[in-house]
DNA sequence: GTTTTTATTCATCAGTTGATGATTAAACAC
DNA sequence: GTGTTTAATCATCAACTGATGAATAAAAAC
């Protein structure tokens, strides 16, 4: 007869601070992951903190302990990964500018701007996919999306535009900004993972095929920039 | 002394069916307008039927009377104006195809596709602005946006792609669909009215300046199509 | 002129929501 | 060792949510 061995997990959670050895650390990160998952699918109002807490296997009060309000939780989710890609994008543009010297091109700059994101998306990490879908939602949320996007991403975008000015010296400021706006829309929809193109193309194209997107997007957008931004002064 | 004239409006609403002459008809339309306004700003989950009812100055039960569920109301809002622009777009593409004959171009087709929407947006009717912002949100909603967009707009988009095939006879199907995807993203962000570009450009560009968008978008996008869709077979 | 249908408000429900103060126990500072 | 801080659950709240059946009165059908 086997001696009764403690049933593997009834997981009746203890109260109080957890043992350091209890090997279920990083509750905060677990909450952020669960929140990211839910927010990216249903947006800020489509999610209840109960759902998030349940998914993260913690009490709802813990969300308030770490993030104060639901809004605080959302903002924390949005900021967490932004720092990572912002740094990567800045570095990527810097590197390209240094390497290209005077032969800088719009396509090269745009490629440097897109690559960090599209590469990460192509790796297939679900949590990054969720995050990108979240950006897409925020970017198209009228009430407060513009403000949130600006706070998070404007420095990088100004860096991008500075590089584009070098590649397209005759471009007007308006043309540059509007062209970026088109780029932003195309990128965020591509990251939004709605399955839209899958249905439209009857399965021929797949939303998750970031390699196909990556191959086409920079040339497509760069061509648009060139068309718009040197239509007046420089002849084509 | 003036005789007491009935105080203009205490507007204690009567029960029962309204008098025909009561000049407050079209409750159904008023509800749809109020719902459109709220849904476009905060999305499906960010709106309560009470807010909509309050804005439309009706009881919440009336929303259920006409639209059964909250979802039914949302779908009715989304479908209402879709029929109008879908017809306009089909007609516009038809007309362009007939007029251009064999000298059909990608820019011409795309222009025919965009013009009905951008023209309407430029007219400045707030209710249409709300509707376009709603499309932008749905287009970037992962959970059910793709399905809703497909049900509503796919026929027109297949009509667009059929015309583009004529203008770009060497294009592969994948290239056409991906290029359309970029177009769709750029268009919906431009319609989303987040004030994003206003902030980014420090006021130089305005989200509401649909004339500026209309002047740039077709050339920008068409240039991208041409770059992608005849990069292989036909030389540039 | 009676009956039926339509359009509206009223009253209310059961379930959900974000939030918070109390409690608990481990970790940490001294 | 003792006291304080940190990290967690528990228990509960008042407000809100979508929805529904009943009541009402005008219009439409007969």
- For B161-176, write each residue's pLDDT tens digit: 999 999 999 999 999 9
Q: What token pair was written down for B216?
A: 């740039």
Confidence band of B17 (pLDDT split at 50, 70, 90): confident
Whether the CB of A17 is less than 7 Å away from nucleic strand D comes out as yes
Helix (H) or strand (E) holding A22: none
Give the tens place of pLDDT for each residue, A22-39. Answer: 655 689 999 999 999 999
CB pairs under 8 A between A and B: 225
Judged by average pLDDT, the poorest of A99-108, A213-222, B101-110, B136-145 is B136-145
List of chain B residues whose C-beta atoms are within 8 Å of the C-beta of residue A179: 216, 220
Nearest to B194 among A142, A213, A224 (CB): A142
Specify whether the CB–CB gap between B148 and B138 falls below 8 A. Answer: yes
Length A41 CA → C27 C1' (Å): 38
Length A73 CA → C16 C1' (Å): 20
Q: What percent of chain B has pLDDT above 90?
A: 83
Mean pLDDT of B45-53: 98
**Mean pLDDT, 10 residues at a time, over chain A (236 residues)?**
43 70 77 97 97 97 98 97 97 98 96 97 95 95 92 97 96 97 97 94 96 97 95 45
Mean pLDDT of B96-112: 96
pTM of the model as a whole: 0.90
Length B76 CA → C6 C1' (Å): 21
Report the Cα A105 to chain-centroid distance in Å.
25
Q: What is the pLDDT of residue B23?
A: 55
Any alpha helices (H) in chain A, and if so which ranges?
A: 27-42, 49-56, 60-67, 70-100, 106-123, 126-139, 145-167, 173-191, 196-200, 210-229
Nucleotide showing the shortest C1' distance to residue A28 CA: D7
- CA-angle at A143, arms to A138 and A144, nearest 5°: 55
List of chain B residues whose C-beta atoms are within 8 Å of the C-beta of residue A143: 41-42, 46
* Cβ separation A42–B41 shorter than 8 A: no
Confidence band of B5 (pLDDT split at 50, 70, 90): very low
Q: What token pair was written down for A49?
A: 């903190």
The reply to whether A155 touches chain B by the CB within 8 Å rule is: no
Q: What is the pLDDT of residue B25?
A: 66
Q: Residue A231: exposed, middle, or buried by beta-carbon count in 10 A (0-12, 13-18, 19+)?
A: middle
Q: What is the pLDDT of residue B2?
A: 46
The reply to whether B179 touches chain A by the CB within 8 Å rule is: yes
Q: What is the pLDDT of residue A22?
A: 62
The reply to whether A46 touches chain B by the CB within 8 Å rule is: yes
Q: What DSSP designation does B185 have?
A: H
Residues with CB under 7 A from strand C: A 14-21, 47-50, 60-61, 64, 68-71; B 13-18, 25, 27-28, 57-62, 65
Confidence band of B203 (pLDDT split at 50, 70, 90): very high
* Cβ separation B217–A182 shorter than 8 A: yes
Length A222 CA → C22 C1' (Å): 60
Bases on strand D under 7 Å from any protein CB: 6-11, 16-28
Length A75 CA → C14 C1' (Å): 33
Q: Which residue is nearest to nucleotide D9 (CA to C1')?
A: A15
Q: What is the pLDDT of residue B154?
A: 97
């Amino acid at each position: 007869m086997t001696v009764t061995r403690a049933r593997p997990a009834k997981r009746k959670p203890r109260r109080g601070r957890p043992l350091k050895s209890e090997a279920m650390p990083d509750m905060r990160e677990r909450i952020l992951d669960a929140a990211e998952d839910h927010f990216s699918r249903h947006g800020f109002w489509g999610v209840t903190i109960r759902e998030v807490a349940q998914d993260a296997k913690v009490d709802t009060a813990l969300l308030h302990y770490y993030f104060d309000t639901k809004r605080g939780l959302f903002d924390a989710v949005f900021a967490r990964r932004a720092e990572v890609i912002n740094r990567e994008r800045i570095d990527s543009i810097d590197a390209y500018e240094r390497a290209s010297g005077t032969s800088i091109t719009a396509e090269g700059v745009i490629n440097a701007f897109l690559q960090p994101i599209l590469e990460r998306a192509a790796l297939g990490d679900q949590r990054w996919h969720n995050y990108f879908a979240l950006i897409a939602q925020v970017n198209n949320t009228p009430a407060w999306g513009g403000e949130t996007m600006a706070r998070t991403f404007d420095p990088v975008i100004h860096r991008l535009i500075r590089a584009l000015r070098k590649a397209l010296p005759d471009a007007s400021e308006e043309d540059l900004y509007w062209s970026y706006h088109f780029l932003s829309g195309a990128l965020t929809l591509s990251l939004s993972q709605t399955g839209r193109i899958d249905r439209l193309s009857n399965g021929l194209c797949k939303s998750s095929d970031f390699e196909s997107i990556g191959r086409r997007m920079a040339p497509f957008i760069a061509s648009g920039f060139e068309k718009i931004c040197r239509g007046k002064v420089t002849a084509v």
